[in-house]
Structure 1
Amino acid sequence: MTPAELVVTPTGVRFAGRLLPVSLGRAGIVTDKREGDGATPAGVHRVIGLLYRPDRIAAHVLPAWARPIHPQDRWCDLSGHPDYNHLTRKAFGKSAERLRRADPLYDLILPLDWNWPDAVPGKGSAIFIHQWRRPGYPTAGCLAFCRRDLFFIARHAAPGTRVVVPQRGP
């Protein structure tokens, strides 16, 4: 049996027999992703984790492999730093994205393996599956879904689930 995969199409993301509306990066899909470009990287990526806010989401509604987001958790986007494109608990000023946000966008996150684990400086970091602000509102490069669909993905994906982002034509 082939494991389920998320496939980006022109009309949404196909996953587990459903077509889910998605928001992608404000700069579209690119094959030459760079840090801070606002683009979603084309390619075949894999889910590497499931992180959640334990003060907002009960652990029992998620798979056992989900891990809580601690108040000091950050994702390093300081190109060239040893922690670049990794979860860290170190502060880097504006070069470490706080995972505990005031808004609900990162209440539930599935990080992808883009430029991970051996991050190449400048190739981009923090490509997540997370909650959207609203339908059609672009991300900084991530794949974003409504909360209901995000929970569906979290409950049915597993570590290693493929996320296919095809290159789009001109």
Structure 2
Amino acid sequence: MTSSSDIFVTANPGDPHGRLTIDGLDFACALGRAGLVNDKREGDGGTPIGIFPLRQLRYRPDRLQAPATALPAFPMTPEDGWCDAPQDAAYNRPVRLPYPASAETMWRDDHLYDLVVVLGHNDDPPRPGAGSAIFFHLANEKNGILQPTEGCVALRLPDMLKVLSSCTPQTTMRIEAL
């Protein structure tokens, strides 16, 4: 059953740009540099096709206040990381930095992770190599063009705030090719 607050992400095959809709609102979004993929693999640059729960929102408290949302929201710290080492026991899980295996830094110099929603992709349980750190985060924009991600879904800040205000713990993100 689909609720009115589900997020729909669609794109043409191979296109790193798509459309995100929720509650009658429609936004341009950035996707992985390889576009949408059916069989997500670590490092392939693809955004996975599927239906994913929104696990939680993390935000940079030094840059933004917690936005209006019903999602569980947690402030980040400079020690927050996300393990992307397929053979590590913490693969596709949050970790504290420094971490002995490969891990992405969540507290970034750019603004991409000032707001980041953890998507329930490959996390119950994680399968080694099936993709990690698939997030819904802020977009990198150059000259008015949203830049591709490493496999995530990304929006401009004003659009993200509108979407988050409609999200609940029951909201899912449905990603599909046109």
Alignment TM-score, normalising by the size of structure 2: 0.87
Query: Partners of 1:40 and 1:93 in 2: how far apart?
Result: 27
State whether structure 2 residue 87 is matched by structure 1 residue 86. no
Segments of structure 2 that go 5 or more residues without pairing to the other structure are 12-17
For residue 53 of structure 2, what is the aligned residue in structure 1? Answer: 46
Distance 1:63 1:14, change over 3 A: closer
Query: Partners of 1:98 and 1:62 in 2: how far apart?
Result: 25
For residue 24 of structure 2, what is the aligned residue in structure 1? Answer: 17
Letter in 1 for 2:10: T
CA-to-aligned-CA distance 1:14-54 (integer Å, 9 cap, x gap): 11210011000000111110001100000111100000001
Segments of structure 1 that go 5 or more residues without pairing to the other structure are none
Q: 2:137 aligns with which of 126, 130, 141?
A: 130
For residue 161 of structure 1, what is the aligned residue in structure 2? Answer: 171
Alignment TM-score, normalising by the size of structure 1: 0.91
Q: Given that residues 113 and 137 in structure 2 are in contact (C-alpha distance below 8 angstroms), is that contact kept between their aligned partners in structure 1?
A: yes
Paired residues in the alignment total 167
SS at match of 1:148: helix
Q: 2:69 aligns with which of 50, 60, 63?
A: 63
RMSD, aligned α-carbons: 1.8
Letter in 2 for 1:9: T
Query: Partners of 1:123 and 1:43 in 2: how far apart?
Result: 13
**Which one is further off, 110-119 or 153-162?**
153-162
Q: Given that residues 83 and 101 in structure 2 are in contact (C-alpha distance below 8 angstroms), is that contact kept between their aligned partners in structure 1?
A: no
